[in-house]
Chains A and B, each alone.
Chain A
């Protein structure tokens, strides 16, 4: 195996790459922004300050005293993104809902929904943490987005490196250009994710994974269980997996939820006739007819008359 000279490795890894150009153009623009001229400082004042310069420098280089931070962030996704500063070294541009607290040195953000882009001045010892129901992002000197939606919390790093700890216990470190998504850990969260995936025409595998995670969640309620089975019923029906779809229809009916019972009965009747024969469909047809919904299964009833 070729062994690269360590200094060559260092040379290669510290070489500028053209794809970094935009970032450095931005730094140049920032550096070129107008600033007070150092020559505007009156020399007599400088002379007077010389005696205390050593002490002043010592304190100037210390971490500044943190100031409290408190900000309710709320901007609708449709409106223009809002910007705010959290102390001297953290800027945030957001369209969504969240709350900032903590101090200027250690801001703490609870981000509920939407997109927030944080920009942290490097080298100032800022300990910024952004918490969502799916996880927490820790950062020092970087620019990154946090987007919370029904799909979960996605973190995208534009510059620097951040640590992401998801509620499921997984922890990753991601660097410039990388992203990571913390998935919901609650049953309701997984149901929301599944519905969002459905709207986005995601694959059947992804949908089944999300709904299975929801059904395995510790906080699963009867309502959520029923809705998760309903999603799975749709997925299996779409992929013409009739026996699995029938199982999901029956699972929905077993939850005793009334919200979409006629719909589930209809599906169960059609699927059981298809998979197991007319005999198996009778129980669902009878319940629908007793509920006054005979018309909705008239066609099926014609094929499967009462015994």
Chain B
């Protein structure tokens, strides 16, 4: 899966503070940022909140980027850290709600209002991803959901390919275990898939 733009000159100009170039970079990358926000945020977080935080970070910290080629990996880390930050905020809200004796209110709990466009299956997948450690969630999103190659994921995360491979194995077994807890339907193997990761994820999980 290709990234939206690899125009290093444009990214360089944005890094150097050119407002118009920054606008263009943000516009080119909006689809990818939005998708990452939706996939990494979790059920209690509004992905649009994460999106706004990410955009603010890109605007204020773009000049800290070392080189244009590092932009995709840097951006992924920004989305990841902002999503985790919102996750923690949501968790604190939930806990303070308990202390105040409030039931878990609609804005504080797993909220379909925040994910109005998602069906039941996607909400279940999101619930499973929410139960998985961050580094494995990254792998699941990049490899299994976005169909990226191991080399691409390794470059994006700044890891050796061998580490990515071992994390894929860990993430896969963790996902299957948690999926069974969230929904037996979700854990059931689907029809055979052509894509390597989907097959890898499901075929060996058949009881």
**B92 and A61 contacting across the interface, CB-CB below 8 Å:** yes
Q: From residue B87, how far is it (CB to closest CB) to chain A in Å?
A: 12
Is A10 a contact of B122 with CB atoms below 8 Å? yes
Determine whether the beta carbon of B52 is less than 8 Å from that of A123. no
When the two chains form their complex, are residues B89 and A61 in contact, meaning their CB atoms are under 8 A apart?
Answer: yes
Q: Is the CB–CB distance between A141 and B107 below 8 Å?
A: yes
CB pair A31 B59 closer than 8 Å: yes
Contact of B55 among A16, A32, A38, A160 (CB under 8 A): A32
Q: Provide the bound-state CA to CA distance between A10 and B90, in Å.
A: 22
**Chain B residues, CB < 8 A from A5:** 190-191, 193, 198, 202
Interface size on A, residues (CB 8 A): 42
B119 within 8 A of A: yes
Interface pair A6/B113, CB less than 8 Å apart: no
Which applies to chain B's interface (DSSP): helix, strand, loop or mixed?
helix
Q: Please, how many residues of chain B have a CB less than 8 angstroms from a CB on the other chain?
A: 57
Q: Quick one: which of A124-170 are within 8 Å of B by CB?
A: 124-127, 140-142, 160-161
Contact A11 B146 (CB under 8 A): yes
A27:B198 contact, CB within 8 angstroms: no
Q: Which chain B residues in 84-123 approach chain A with CB under 8 Å?
A: 86, 89-90, 92-93, 96, 100, 105-108, 111-114, 116-119, 121-122
Chain B residues with CB under 8 Å of A63's CB are 93, 96
**Are B126 and A10 in contact (CB-based, < 8 A)?**
yes
In contact, A4 and B122 (Cβ under 8 angstroms): no
The distance in angstroms between the C-alpha atoms of A10 and B130, with both chains bound, is 14
**Known A10-B122, A27-B48: A140·B106 in contact at CB below 8 Å:** yes
From B26, B122, B140, residue with most partner A Cβ within 10 Å: B122
Answer yes or no: B75 CB below 8 A from chain A CBs: no
A16 partner residues in chain B, CB cutoff 8 A: 30-32, 34-35
Contacting pair B52 A31 (CB below 8 A): yes
Contact A58:B113 (CB < 8 A) given known A9-B121, A20-B34, A140-B107: no
Contact A15–B30 (Cβ < 8 Å) = no
Complex Cα distance, B147 from A10, in Å, reads 13
Binding site for B on A (CB under 8 A): 2-11, 13-16, 20-21, 24-25, 27-28, 30-32, 35, 38, 58, 61-63, 122-127, 140-142, 160-161, 175-176
Given contacts A8-B193, A122-B46, A123-B107, 14 further A-B contacts (CB under 8 A): A5-B193, A6-B122, A6-B186, A7-B201, A9-B125, A10-B118, A10-B145, A14-B122, A30-B52, A32-B55, A32-B59, A123-B114, A161-B112, A161-B113
A selection of 5 A-B contacts at a CB cut-off of 8 Å is: A9-B125, A13-B119, A13-B122, A61-B89, A62-B96
